[in-house]
Amino acid sequence: MAESSNSRKRRKIDPDSQTRIQPETGPTRWRTQAEQQIYSSKLIDALRHVRRGGHGGVRDAADRVLAASARGRTRWSRAILTNRLSLRLAQINRKHKKAARPSAGKSRPRKPAKKLPPVESKVKVLSRLVPGCRKVSLPNLLEETTDYIAALEMQVKAMTFLTGLLNAGAAAPA
């Protein structure tokens, strides 16, 4: 209950200084044009530095730029920024060891079904989708999902625009 009272205190303060704080927090901030422009410019910058991409090089760069523009306020953004190196290593390791190592009875402990409530299983699926939210409580998970969906939508818009821009730029002189 302490955290709920804290969050209530925070929400109580917010309407007072709404002009400045409100656009900064909450999922609505992803919808502003300014955010989109900032993201696009940063993305272009990052794309020029993408290495001779392995699979998903551009995708990771785009996600990282997105997480960076979140200013570290959300869990998923922090998870994306801190995980890129470890994920890369894990991918490489997995590719190397995939053929070599047989799964030593790891699937068996997972067979006995503990909980069957459909809501619970969906919550787990959702927590796997949102990066960095596997062991997060349900209300926080929902909040993270809200922010994540808004951010993803902005990302799609920006990338679509950039793709069109670059394609048109490529097509015209050619």
Using CB under 8 A, list all residues that contact other proteins: 1, 4-5, 8-9, 12, 27, 33, 36-37, 40-41, 44-45, 47-48, 50, 53, 56-59, 62-63, 118-119, 122-123, 125-126, 129-130, 138-139, 142-143, 145-146, 148-150, 152-153, 155-170, 172-173
Closest to other proteins by CB, 50 vs 90, is 50
Closest to other proteins by CB, 41 vs 82, is 41
Closest to other proteins by CB, 37 vs 82, is 37
CB of residue 173 to other proteins, shortest distance in Å: 5
Q: Could you please report the per-residue DSSP string of 53-109?
A: --TTHHHHHHHHHHHHTTTT-SHHHHHHHHHHHHHHHHHHHHHHHTTT----S-SGG
Q: Could you please report the per-residue DSSP string of 20-56?
A: HHTTTSSGGGGGSHHHHHHHHHHHHHHHHT--S--TT
Q: 40: closest CA among 69, 74, 14?
A: 69
CB of residue 97 to other proteins, shortest distance in Å: 25
Closest to other proteins by CB, 51 vs 95, is 51
CB of residue 27 to other proteins, shortest distance in Å: 7
Q: Residue 158 in contact with residue 36, Cβ under 8 Å?
A: yes
CB of residue 104 to other proteins, shortest distance in Å: 31
CB of residue 112 to other proteins, shortest distance in Å: 23
Q: Residue 134 in contact with residue 83, Cβ under 8 Å?
A: no
Query: How far is the C-alpha of 143 from the C-alpha of 127, rounded, in Å?
Result: 12
Q: Backbone phi, then psi, for 158, in 5-degree steps?
A: -65, -45
**Residue 98 structure tokens:** 């995939």
Closest to other proteins by CB, 9 vs 96, is 9
